[in-house]
A and B are shown apart, each in its own frame.
Chain A
Amino acid sequence: MSEAVYPQSEVFHTEDMTISVGPQHPSTHGVLRFVVRTDGEVIGEAIPDVGYLHRSIEKIGEKCTYHGYVPYTDRADYLAAMFANQGFCMAAEKLAATEVTRRGEFCRVIACELNRIASHLISVGTFGQDIGAITPFLHALRERETINDLMEEICGARLTYNYIRIGGVGYDITQETCDKILTFLDHFDPIVDEYNRLLSYNKIYIERLANVAVITKEEAFQYNLVGPNLRASGIKWDIRRDIPYSVYPELDFEVPVGHGEKGTLGDCYDRYWVRMQELQESSKIVRQCLKMMPKGPAISKVPRKFKPPAGEVYVRVEAPRGDMGYYVVSDGSEYPYRVRIRTGSFTAMGIIDKLSRGIMVADLIALIASLDVDAPEIDR
């Protein structure tokens, strides 16, 4: 590459530089490393080097009972622990044909969508921070703090919830907490407009993101992107709508897709904008659930010694980082025979090398931030 740009001479010669972005780089959101070969500011290739945060969660699953494994799934993606809980519990319920109570389903959806708002707030906040705007990050964390306080009241923990259990949810959401959630949403909806004025419509921010690292529809399919990254490329695919689970079919919500808002379809700005719209959609879903929530038990009767019959299942849930799949094999004993977790962040790593060729080093940071990868979810 360097030979093509600069002519070789006897005295001066150019050579590519190999630098390491991470594992302790603030924009990699966790311990994640990129081996970047650059020609000055232009990137030749960027190879993701994953595995720094591997905790062998899948192997631990073979040593734990089904009830005991639920708190471990929290750690698969600590920014959106509720979805990891739900995925595993749905797999276990499908294996044993356990029914979930109706109130339990609504409690699940409320907790999950609040968690999605918290996760997307971190995503758009750190996006601004990576680009160089620190204030929006603090504003986003302010609202997330309130959600954490609500979560504390719902389930007792701020980050690793262990709330969704096999057969329903651990504890019921009280009427008092429901009122608090509603108060928060009334406060939150105008705040989204404030974020937009602060960050989304900022000309410098748009210039940094529009037309950068464009993912076309075909590429998004070929590289198996999921979630907001896929929708930003203009493909309307959402597990909640297309392979419905829980009570999502009864709820009325839109699936935001990218339209090339400020530039090309599937650029960094589209990926950011889809997340901003999903914040409002999640708020809408929670409002509906609070209205529709019936009375009744929050969890159905599940034996303490949970022994599903032999078999294998694959279930998928729509997590903030896309399609999260759980493949669980049971051999009829108290312990799962095999647990496999499929996450959206890991597949998003594949496309980074392709997109990074020919862009600037500063744009690589924008690309990583726009894919919203999360180190614990990549390695598990």
Chain B
Amino acid sequence: MNGFGGYIKNIVETVSTIFEGLAITLSHLVRRPMTIQYPDRIPKPVQETLPLRYRGILEVDLDICTGCLACERVCPISCITIGIDMNKETKQRTFGHFDIDICKCMYCGLCAEACPTGSIRHSQEFEGASYSPAGLVRHFVTRPVALYKPKKGGETDPTMVEKVKIGQEYLDEFATPEGGAGAGEG
């Protein structure tokens, strides 16, 4: 590439490739936009469009929690703290506190997999803004709750059946056909 011919050729190439790029940009006028107007002007909330596997903020259904502490033990950053009180007279065990520090949580999903009843699970919720770090600690024990004991041959209490079913469905979503981490205790 030399001389006047090369100079002209350079200019022609530059201009033509620029216009090629502009043509692609222009074609986006008629394409469907990828962006959405968040949080208004969307047909339904984003939370409802997320897949069931989505790992959002943790939620706990204390009614079906057996208090086995598997989630507390498996958590790599110890953001779950569980206290269980024992009533000395009636020998009944109830939850003292069940707190999850959303600030610390790294949404790895190890606790939800370790849970035997699907009581602790990731919700589709992701909007967790708060004015202070203390506001991000979720306290799940608001009233005294007794530990759940799974009944042999399935749940019979009609108020609990639905809850057990939701937990089991959540577990099934992640279940692998055979095997799985923790399948062989050792």
A304 touches which one: B21, B54, B177, B185 (CB < 8 A)? B185
Interface mask (A124-163 → B, CB under 8 Å = 1, otherwise 0) = 0000000000010000001001000000111111001010
B90-98, B101-109, B142-150, B151-159: which lies at the interface: B101-109
Bound-complex Cα distance A305 to B114 (A): 12
The contact string, 1 if C-beta is below 8 Å from chain A, for chain B 121-148, is: 0100000000000000000000000000
Number of interface residues of A (CB under 8 A): 45
Please report B residues at the A interface, Cβ cutoff 8 Å.
10, 13-14, 17-18, 20-21, 24-25, 34, 50-51, 53-55, 74-76, 106-110, 113-114, 122, 173-174, 176-186
Q: Whose C-beta in chain A lies nearest to the C-beta of B24?
A: A198
Cβ of B181 and Cβ of A299 under 8 Å apart?
A: yes
A64 contacts chain B at the CB level, 8 A cutoff = yes
A152 with B21: CB separation less than 8 A: no
By CB atoms of chain A within 10 A, which of B17, B20, B54, B106 has the most? B17
The answer, among A71, A72, A156, for a CB contact under 8 Å with B53, is A156
- A301:B76 contact, CB within 8 angstroms: no
Question: Is there contact, CB below 8 Å, between A303 and B184?
Answer: yes
Instruction: Report the nearest A residue to B16, measured CB to CB.
Output: A203
Q: What 10 pairs across the A-B complex have the smallest Cβ distances? A: A303-B186, A71-B108, A68-B76, A304-B182, A156-B53, A297-B178, A203-B14, A156-B55, A162-B108, A301-B179
Which A residues are in CB contact (< 8 Å) with B174? 170-171
Q: Assuming A67-B74, A135-B25, what are 7 further A-B pairs, CB within 8 angstroms?
A: A69-B76, A71-B108, A152-B50, A172-B176, A197-B24, A297-B180, A305-B185
The CA of A167 and the CA of B178, in the complex, are separated in Å by 12
Residue A204 lies at the interface, judged by CB distance under 8 Å to chain B: yes
Beta-carbon contact of A156 and B21 below 8 Å: no
- Alpha-carbon distance between A171 and B171 when the two chains are bound, in angstroms: 11
Flag if A171 contacts B21 (CB, 8 Å): no
19 contacting pairs across A/B (C-beta < 8 A): A69-B76, A71-B76, A152-B53, A153-B51, A157-B55, A157-B109, A160-B108, A167-B181, A168-B176, A170-B181, A171-B174, A172-B177, A198-B20, A198-B21, A297-B178, A298-B177, A303-B185, A304-B74, A304-B182
